[in-house]
Chain A
C-alpha cells in the first residue's frame, strides 16, 4: 500500500459505496480491466477501485474521503489519452468522470457553453450547431475524447494554428481540490483578478485538482472552408511552401504535411486521391467569409506552384473537402494496417528545422532498423513520427521506446519540446529532464505542493521525482 494510505481496500470500498452507491463502484478485476490503461496501452496497471460518481457532490465527498485516508486519485475521462496520463495507481482509485456528461447550458448570444467534464468534444459542436456556433479545438480523437480530458492535456488539433489550443478557448473551470473544496477558476469575463490559475490548471494532467465543470468559448461557424492539396517531390520544398504561405500573411485554418510512408499508407486506407509518388504532401485549409476564402485560396495555390509543387488540387465541394481530409485524419489507423504496432511521438520543433529533423529521423530509422511514417502539423511545428514495430518480437518495444526518446531529445536540441499536445504522463517522464534542469523541476514540484502537498493526485505522472531524474542521468551518461 501507499505509505500515506490508512485504510484497507475493503474498508475503502465500503466507505465509497456510502457516497456513490454500489452501482457506481467497480471492485472486481475483470470489470476493472478496461481501466488498466489509456490510449497508450504499453503502460498498464490495475487500480484498487474504479469509482464512477454521478455528480459533483459525490466527486467532492470521494475527494474528502481519499484525502483523509491518504488514497491516491487518478481522474479519467474516456481514456483516449496517448501518454499514459490516466494509467491507474495500484494503491489508488480511478475516478471516472464519464457519468458527468451533461451540457448544462448554451448561451448563443454570449457564445459560451457550460459543460460537465464527461461531455465529448464533438458533442459540444453538435449541440452548438443549431446556433451557427462550434467549439474550435478538434483533436483527432474528438468523437470519443471528453472536454475534461482536453483540459487536463491542453489538447490541440488540426485547427490550432488559427484558433488556438484548449487554453485559448476556456473561460471558467470549477475545480475540486485534493481536500474536497470547490475552487472557482476564471469567470464569464475574459480577464480575472489574481493569478491566472486557468493557465496552470489547463494541461496539468490531473496533478492539481479534479475539474467538475467547464465553460468554453464558442465561435461562429465560418461561412466557407476550402482545402488545397499540394504534392512535392522533396520534403524541403514542402517545408519552404509552408513558410511561403505564412510569409504571405495568410493564417490557414489547418496546414498539415505527410511524408511518403504516411501518404502511401493513408491512400491505401482511405482512397483520398493522394499522389502516392509524392515525397511530401501538404493539405492547406482556409476558412472564413466567402470573400476571404476566395482571396486566400488563390494565393495559396499560386504559392505552392511557385515553391515547386508538381500537382495541386482544390476542393470543389464539401464532399471533396471531407475526402481530402479523410486520408490525413485516418493516418494513424492507416499506418496501423501496414505494421503490427506503431508508436506515436509528439515532439514540437521550429518549422525551419523540419528538413534537418526528418533527415536525422531517417538516419536513426536505418540505425534501429525500424520504419517511421511522419505526420506533421506543419503550421505549428508539431511533429508526429509514427515508429512501426512488432511488439511480439522480443526487445522491439524497448528498441522503439529508445528510438522515440532519441527523437524527443532531438526536438529539444533544435529548440523544440518533448510534447506538443499529448502530454507527459508516465510515458515522457524521463525526457522531462532533457527539457528542464533540476531547479526548474523543483519549481514544478513546489507548484504541485501548493495544490497537493501529499501528492495524492495522479502520482508518478507529469513531473519526474528528482532522485529518479538523477538516476536516469547517470544511466544515460554510463550508456554514452
Chain B
C-alpha cells in the first residue's frame, strides 16, 4: 500500500514542460490492446492499495495500481464482488488498467461494465494538474462525468490514480446449462432469454454449444434452470461452469490460442450471424462477437456497420495501423478537441487509441 501520487504529478509536470511523450504502464497485462505507442515509460504500479471500503455502502475506493485479484479477494471476504467481472490476467490486471481499457466479463449486458460501476476518479491531466471528479456516492450530477469518460480512453486523457466504484453482493446461487445448437439459433435464444424476468448472468456460444448462466436468489436460479428439463441440455458442475466462464473471460480457451488476428465485434444483440463458415465466439447475449483470422479491416467494418455496430482488431495482427473502428469526421474533430482539453501537448499515451490522437 503506497501513495506515490506526488511523484507521478511531478513526472507528468516535467514531461509537460519538456513535451516528452509518456507511455503509462502498471501490470502490463493489457499492453496488447490498442496501437503500438512510443513514449517514456510512466510506471504507476507502485501507486496501489485499497483506500477505503465500507461493505454496507457498496463502494470501494482503490489506487490505480491495486491488483484486481486483491480487490476481488477483499470483496469476496465480505460477500461482495465487482459486477463487471473483469479479467484478472494471472493476477497482473490492475484497477487503473481495467478502467482505461473498459474490459468486462460475461455479465456485462446485465450487470454493466466498469464504466457503469465507476463513480469517482482522481487523475493527472496532461498539464500535470491533479484533479478529482465524482466521489463515493452513486448519484452525482455535478459537472461533466469525467470519471466515466476515462473508460476505454486508454490513458490518453489522464493518468488515472484513484477510482471509486460500486460493488454488489455476491449472488447466493449460480448455475450453467449447455445446449447444442448452431450460431443463428443461439443468437435467437440468447435474445429470448434476456427478454424474460429471469436472473441470467452469462450467455455465450462456442463450437455448436450455447452456454447459459443464471445467478441470483437460490429459488430463482433453480426455477430458471428447471425450464430446460424438457430440452436436450447438460447442466455443468459448479467447478466446471466456473472454469468455462473464467477461461472465456481470461481468453484462455482454445479459441483464443495462436497469433491469428482476434477481432472484436460490438453489435446489436440480435444482429444476424455473419460469415457463417468462420471461427466465432459469441458472448454478451449476442452483443459481443469474437472472430479469428486474417480479414480486410475495412470490409469487416462495413459488415459491422451494416449490423448496427463496430469492429476492432483486439489482439495480434498489424498494430501500427489503426486498430479501432473508424470514426466519422465529426467524431474525430470532437475527439481531437477533447484530447487537447485534457492533454494539450499530446504527451499521454499518444497514438495508443488512434494514430491521430
- Chain A residues within 8 Å of B, Cβ to Cβ: 107-112, 131-133, 153-154, 156, 160-161, 164-165, 167-168, 177, 181-184, 187-197, 199-200, 202-204, 220-223, 243, 246-251, 288-292, 294-296, 348-352, 377, 380-382, 415-424, 428, 432, 435-436, 439-440, 443-444, 446-447, 449-451, 462-463
How far is A258 from B268 in the complex, measured between Cα atoms in Å?
Answer: 42
What residues on A are CB-neighbors of B102 within 8 Å?
Answer: 191, 196
What residues on A are CB-neighbors of B170 within 8 Å?
Answer: 249
Tell me the smallest distance from the CB of A332 to a CB of chain B, in Å.
Answer: 18
A sample of 12 cross-chain residue pairs with beta-carbon separation below 8 angstroms, ordered by A number, consists of A107-B270, A164-B112, A165-B139, A182-B330, A190-B266, A191-B152, A195-B153, A195-B338, A196-B102, A289-B220, A350-B57, A382-B137
Contact B309 A189 (CB under 8 A): yes
What residues on B are CB-neighbors of A183 within 8 Å?
Answer: 328, 330-331, 334
Extra contacts besides A160-B138, A187-B266, A294-B219 (7): CB < 8 Å: A161-B138, A200-B146, A246-B56, A288-B199, A377-B139, A432-B142, A444-B144
What residues on A are CB-neighbors of B55 within 8 Å?
Answer: 247
What residues on A are CB-neighbors of B149 within 8 Å?
Answer: 195-196, 199-200
Contact A291 B194 (CB under 8 A): no
What residues on B are CB-neighbors of A348 within 8 Å?
Answer: 137-140
The segment from B87-95, B125-133, B255-263, B290-298 that touches chain A is B125-133
What residues on B are CB-neighbors of A449 within 8 Å?
Answer: 337, 341
Contact B139 A289 (CB under 8 A): no
How far is A289 from B198 in the complex, measured between Cα atoms in Å?
Answer: 6
What residues on A are CB-neighbors of B330 within 8 Å?
Answer: 177, 181-184
Contact A417 B135 (CB under 8 A): yes
Q: For chain B, give the interface size range.
A: 35 or more
What residues on A are CB-neighbors of B338 within 8 Å?
Answer: 195, 200, 447, 450
How far is A34 from B58 in the complex, measured between Cα atoms in Å?
Answer: 43
**CB contact under 8 A between A440 and B133, given known A189-B308, A352-B54:** yes
Is B151 part of the contact surface with A, judged by Cβ < 8 Å?
Answer: yes
Contact A380 B138 (CB under 8 A): yes
| B168 partner, pick from A177, A251, A419, beta carbons under 8 A | A251
**CB contact under 8 A between A108 and B327, given known A188-B309, A203-B144:** no
Interface residues as binary, B317-357 with A (CB distance below 8 Å gives 1, 0 otherwise):
00000001101101100110110111000000000011000
Contact A288 B328 (CB under 8 A): no
How far is A220 from B109 in the complex, measured between Cα atoms in Å?
Answer: 13
Contact A417 B137 (CB under 8 A): yes
What residues on B are CB-neighbors of A199 within 8 Å?
Answer: 115, 145, 148-149, 151
The residue on B at minimum CB distance from A379 is B138
How far is A435 from B142 in the complex, measured between Cα atoms in Å?
Answer: 8
How far is A249 from B139 in the complex, measured between Cα atoms in Å?
Answer: 20
Q: Which residues of B (214-261) have their CB < 8 Å from a CB of A?
A: 216-220, 222-224
Contact A191 B266 (CB under 8 A): yes
**CB contact under 8 A between A243 and B56, given known A132-B195, A181-B330:** yes
Contact A351 B144 (CB under 8 A): no
The residue on B at minimum CB distance from A111 is B195
Tell me the smallest distance from the CB of B334 to a CB of chain A, in Å.
Answer: 6
**CB contact under 8 A between A350 and B137, given known A108-B195, A191-B102, A294-B219:** yes
How far is A177 from B331 in the complex, measured between Cα atoms in Å?
Answer: 11
**CB contact under 8 A between A419 and B337, given known A194-B331, A220-B196:** no
Tell me the smallest distance from the CB of A292 to a CB of chain B, in Å.
Answer: 4
What residues on B are CB-neighbors of A177 within 8 Å?
Answer: 330, 334
Is B45 part of the contact surface with A, judged by Cβ < 8 Å?
Answer: no
Interface residues as binary, B158-179 with A (CB distance below 8 Å gives 1, 0 otherwise):
0000000000111010000000
**CB contact under 8 A between A450 and B340, given known A160-B139, A419-B140:** yes
Is B141 part of the contact surface with A, judged by Cβ < 8 Å?
Answer: yes
What residues on B are CB-neighbors of A439 within 8 Å?
Answer: 129-131
Contact A352 B267 (CB under 8 A): no
Contact A111 B308 (CB under 8 A): no
What residues on A are CB-neighbors of B141 within 8 Å?
Answer: 153-154, 203, 419-424
Is B116 part of the contact surface with A, judged by Cβ < 8 Å?
Answer: yes
The residue on A at minimum CB distance from B172 is A249
Contact B309 A432 (CB under 8 A): no
| A190 partner, pick from B109, B134, B307, B354, beta carbons under 8 A | B109
| A416 partner, pick from B137, B199, B287, beta carbons under 8 A | B137
How far is A167 from B75 in the complex, measured between Cα atoms in Å?
Answer: 25
Tell me the smallest distance from the CB of A104 to a CB of chain B, in Å.
Answer: 14
Contact A292 B220 (CB under 8 A): yes
The residue on B at minimum CB distance from A445 is B341
What residues on A are CB-neighbors of B337 within 8 Å?
Answer: 449-451
Tell me the smallest distance from the CB of B276 to a CB of chain A, in Å.
Answer: 20
How far is A177 from B143 in the complex, measured between Cα atoms in Å?
Answer: 19
How far is A436 from B27 in the complex, measured between Cα atoms in Å?
Answer: 31
Is B213 part of the contact surface with A, judged by Cβ < 8 Å?
Answer: no
What residues on A are CB-neighbors of B56 within 8 Å?
Answer: 243, 246-247, 351-352
How far is A251 from B110 in the complex, measured between Cα atoms in Å?
Answer: 14
Is B5 part of the contact surface with A, judged by Cβ < 8 Å?
Answer: no
What residues on B are CB-neighbors of A222 within 8 Å?
Answer: 197
Contact A415 B217 (CB under 8 A): no
Is B191 part of the contact surface with A, judged by Cβ < 8 Å?
Answer: yes
Interface residues as binary, B291-316 with A (CB distance below 8 Å gives 1, 0 otherwise):
00000000000000001111010000
Contact A436 B139 (CB under 8 A): no
Tell me the smallest distance from the CB of B337 to a CB of chain A, in Å.
Answer: 4
**CB contact under 8 A between A288 and B217, given known A246-B56, A446-B341, A446-B342:** yes
Contact A419 B308 (CB under 8 A): no
Is B269 part of the contact surface with A, judged by Cβ < 8 Å?
Answer: yes
